[in-house]
Structure 1
Amino acid sequence: MPPHETVTGERERMLGFGTLTKKVFGTANDRKIKSTRPLIEKINALEAEYEALDDAGLRAKTDEFRKRFEGGESLDDLLPDAFANCREAAKRALGLRAFDVQLMGGIFLHQGNISEMKTGEGKTLVATLPAYLNAISGKGVHIVTVNDYLARRDADWMSKVYGALGLTTGVVYPRQPEDEKKAAYQADITYATNNELGFDYLRDNMKSELDQMYQRGHNFAIVDEVDSILIDEARTPLIISGPSQDRSELYTGIDKLLPDLTEEHYELDEKTRSISFTDEGNEFLEERLREAGLMPEGQTLYDPESTTLVHHVTQALRAHKLYQRDKDYIVRDNEVVLIDEFTGRMMAGRRLSDGLHQAIEAKEGCQIQPENVTLASVTFQNYFRLYNKLSGMTGTATTEAEEFAEIYGLGVVEVPTNRPIARIDEDDKVYRTAQEKYEAIVEEIRLAHQKGQPVLVGTTSIEKSEMLSQLLQKAGLKHNVLNARQHEQEAQIVGDAGLPGAVTIATNMAGRGTDIKLGGNFEMKVQAALDADPNGNPEEIRARIEAGQAEAEDKVKEAGGLFVLATERHESRRIDNQLRGRSGRQGDPGRSSFFLSLDDDLMRIFGSERLDKVLSSLGMQEGEAIVHPWVNKSLERAQSKVEARNFDIRKQLLKFDDVMNDQRKVIFGQRREIMEAEDLSEVTEDMREEVIDDIVDTYAPPKSYADQWDVEGLDADIKDKLNIALPVAEWAEEDGVDQDVLRERIAEASDKLMAEKAEAFGPEALRQIEKQVLLQTIDSKWRDHLLTLEHLRSVVGFRGYAQRDPLNEYKTEAFQLFESMLDSLRSEVTQKLAQIQPMSEEQRKQLLDQLRREQAQAQMAAAQAPAGATNPESEAAGPAVAAKEPLIDGFDETDPSTWGNPGRNAPCPCGSGQKFKHCHGRLA
Structure 2
Amino acid sequence: MGVSQRLKSRFRKFLQRPGTTVDLAPLRRRLPEIEAREDALAALDDAELTAAAAEAHDFTEICAVGREAAKRALDQRPYDVQLLGAMALLSGKVAEMATGEGKTLTATIAAYGHVRRGNGPVHVLTVNDYLARRDATWMEPVYTLLGLTVAWVTEASTPQERREAYAADVTYVSVSEAGFDYLRDQLVTDIADRVQSELATAIVDEADSILIDEARVPMVLAGSIHTESDPVHEAAELVRDLRPGKHFEVADDGRSVAFTAAGLAEVERRMGLDLYAHENVEQLSAVNVALHARALLRRDVDYIVREGSVELIDEMRGRVAQRRRWPDGLQAAVEAKEGLSATAEGEVLDTITVQAFIASYKTVCGMTATAVHVGEQLREYFKLEVAVIPSNAENIRVDEPDRIYSAHDMRDEALVEEIKLAHEKGRPVLVGTLDVKASEQLAAQLAAAGVPSQVLNAKNDAEEAAIIAEAGALGAVTVSTQMAGRGVDIRLGGSDEKDRERVVELGGLYVIGSGRHDSRRVDDQLRGRAGRQGDPGGSVFFVSLEDDLIVRHAGDILPASPRMDIDGVVHDETVDYAVEHAQRVAEGVNHEIHRNTWRYSVVIEQQRVALAERRERLLTSEVAAIMLLERSPEKAKATDEDVLSDAARAIALFHLDRLWAEHLAHLNEVREGVHLRALGKLDPLDEFHRAAVPAFQTMFTEIERRTIETFEEVDLSDGWQPEQAQIVRPSATWTYLVHDNPFGSELDRLIAAVGRRLTSGGE
- Could you state the TM-score of these two structures normalised by the residue count of structure 1? 0.66
Change (3 A) 1:58 1:849: farther
Q: Which letter does structure 2 place at the counterpart of 1:115?
A: A
The RMSD of aligned alpha carbons is 3.6
Other structure's SS at 1:218 match: coil
For residue 638 of structure 1, report the CA deviation from its aligned partner. 2.2
Q: Are residues 1:320 and 2:280 paired?
A: yes
Name the aligned partner's letter for residue 366 of structure 2.
G
Distance 1:419 1:246 in 2: 61
Residue 234 (1) aligns with residue 215 (2): yes
For 1:433, the equivalent position in structure 2 comes to 407
| Cα displacement (A) at 1:227 | 1.2
Residues 324, 676 of structure 1: alpha-carbon distance in 2 compared, 3 angstrom cutoff: closer
CA deviation vs aligned residue, 1:167-214 (integer Å, no higher than 9, x gap): 111111113112111000111010011111111111111111111111
Partner of 2:735: 865
Contact 1:109 1:130 in 2 (8 A): yes
Within a 5 Å distance, the mapping from 1:702-851 to structure 2 comes to 750-757=632-639, 762-840=640-718, 844=719, 847-848=721-722
Post-superposition offset of 1:682: 2.6
- Per-residue CA distance 1:717-743 (angstroms, 9 max, x = gap): xxxxxxxxxxxxxxxxxxxxxxxxxxx
Q: Which residue of 2 aligns with 1:394?
A: 368
Q: Which residue of 1 aligns with 2:426?
A: 452
Structure 1 distance, partners of 2:69, 2:354, is 34
Of residues 130, 142, 156, the one that matches 2:110 is 130
Counterpart residue type for residue 26 of structure 2: S
Match of 1:586 in 2: 533
Relative to 1, partners in 2 of residues 1:129 and 1:198: Cα closer, same or farther, differing over 3 Å?
Answer: same
Counterpart of 1:38 in structure 2 is 29
User: 1:589 is matched by which residue type in structure 2?
Assistant: P
| CA deviation map 1:849-886 (0-9, x unaligned) | 7679824x26x31xx325x5658999xxxxxxxxxxxx
Match of 2:468 in 1: 494
The answer to whether the aligner puts 1:404 opposite 2:378 as a matched pair is yes
- 1:769 Cα offset (Å): 1.0
1:108 aligned to 2:88? yes
Q: Which amino acid in the other structure matches residue 472 of structure 2?
A: G
In 2 relative to 1, CA 370–506 (structure 1 residues): closer, same or farther, beyond 3 Å?
closer
User: Computing the radius of gyration over CA atoms, which structure comes out larger, 1 or 2?
Assistant: 1
SS at match of 1:32: coil
Match of 1:505 among 479, 498, 509: 479
Q: 1:201 and 1:51, CA in 2 relative to 1: closer, same or farther beyond 3 A?
A: same
1:298-337 superposed matches below 5 A: 317=277, 320=280, 323=283
Residue 645 of structure 1: aligned partner: 589
1:619-658 matches, cutoff 5 A: 620-621=565-566, 623-627=567-571, 631-658=575-602
Tell me how far apart the structure 1 counterparts of residues 212 and 464 of structure 2 sit (CA, whole Å).
23
Counterparts in 2 of 1:215 and 1:873: CA distance versus 1, 3 Å = farther
Tell me the SS of whatever aligns to 2:674.
helix
Match of 1:568 in 2: 515
Q: Deviations over 1:102-132 (max 9, x none)?
A: 1111111111111111101011111011100
Q: For residue 254 of structure 2, what is the aligned residue in structure 1?
A: none
The DSSP-based 3-state class of the residue aligned with 2:100 is coil
Deviation per CA, 1:123-172, whole angstroms, max 9, x where unpaired?
A: 11110111001122273100011111111110100111101112111111
Q: 1:496 is aligned with what amino acid?
A: E
- Name the amino acid aligned to 1:113: K
Distance 1:510 1:850 in 2: 56
| 1:86 equivalent in alignment to 2:66 | yes
1:134-283 to 2 correspondences below 5 Å: 134-136=114-116, 137=118, 139-244=120-225
- Conserved in 2, the CA contact under 8 Å of 1:776 and 1:851? no
Task: Give SS of 2:560's match.
Answer: helix
Tell whether the 8 Å contact from 2:219 to 2:735 is kept in structure 1 after alignment: no
Secondary structure of residue in 1 paired with 2:598: helix
Letter in 2 for 1:478: P
Q: Gapped runs of 5+ residues in structure 2?
A: 1-17, 230-257, 265-273, 297-307, 311-324, 333-342, 744-763
Return the letter of the residue paired with 1:781.
L
SS of the residue aligned with 2:636? helix
1:680, distance to aligned residue in structure 2 (A): 4.1
For 2:590 and 2:685, locate their aligned partners in 1 and report how far apart those are by CA, in whole Å. 18
How far 1:625 sits from its partner (Å)? 1.4
Aligned position for 2:753: none
Give yes or no for contact 2:564–2:572 (8 Å, CA) kept in 1: no
Where relative contact order (Cα < 8 A, 6+ residues apart) is larger, the structure is: 2
2:107 aligned partner, one-letter code: A
The one-letter amino acid of 1:754's match is A
Decide whether aligned partners of structure 1 residues 428 and 244 sit closer, same or farther in structure 2, where only a CA change above 3 A counts.
same
The corresponding residue for 2:79 is 99
What is the alpha-carbon distance in structure 2 between the residues aligned to residue 872 and residue 241 of structure 1? Answer: 19
Deviations 1:745-778 (A, max 9, x none): xxxxx42442123xxxx21121111111111111
> TM-score, structure 2 length as denominator?
0.79
Residue by residue, what CA displacement relative to the aligned partner does 1:404-436 show, whole Å, maximum 9, x if unpaired? 110111111211000111011111111122111
CA distance in 2, matches of 1:186, 1:556: 46
Specify the alignment match of 1:670 in structure 2. Answer: 614
Q: Structure 1 counterpart of 2:534, which letter? A: G
- Farther off after superposition, 800-809 or 764-773: 800-809
SS in 2 for 1:653: helix
Distance in structure 1 (CA, Å) of the matches to 2:361 and 2:207: 15
Q: Which moves more between the two structures, 35-44 or 378-387? A: 35-44
Q: Aligned pair in 2 of structure 1 residues 48, 357: CA closer, same or farther (>3 Å)?
A: closer
| Runs (5+) with no aligned partner, structure 1 | 1-21, 66-74, 249-268, 276-313, 330-336, 359-368, 523-548, 689-749, 875-924
Taking a change above 3 Å as real, the CA distance of residues 485 and 850 of structure 1, as seen in their structure-2 partners, is farther
Q: Which one of the candidate residues 510, 515, 518 is aligned to 2:492? A: 518
Query: How big is each residue's C-alpha offset from its partner over 1:565-605, in whole Å with a ceiling of 9 and x where there is no partner?
Result: 11111111111100011111111111111111121112323
Aligned pair count reads 652
Conserved? CA contact 2:554–2:579, under 8 Å? no
Partners of 2:467 and 2:634 in 1: how far apart? 75
Distance in 2 of aligned mates of 1:852 and 1:556 = 70
Instruction: Kindly report which structure 2 residues correspond to 1:878-893, keeping only aligned pairs within 5 A, or say none.
Output: none
**CA contact 1:427–1:628 (8 Å) conserved in 2:** no
Residue aligning to 1:120? 100
After TM superposition, the structure 1 = structure 2 runs for residues 670-709 of structure 1, keeping only pairs within 5 Å, are 670-677=614-621, 680-685=624-629, 688=631
Is 1:854 aligned to 2:735, yes or no? no
Structure 1 residue 499: deviation in Å? 1.0
Does the 8 A contact of 2:508 with 2:531 survive in 1? yes
Which structure carries more helix by proportion?
1
User: Quick one: distance in 1 between partners of 2:196 and 2:261?
Assistant: 47
Percentage identity across aligned positions? 36
What secondary structure sits across from 2:679 in the alignment?
A: helix
Contact 2:629–2:637, Cα closer than 8 Å, also in 1: no
8 Å CA contact 2:618, 2:653 repeated in 1: yes
Residue identity matched to 1:462:
V
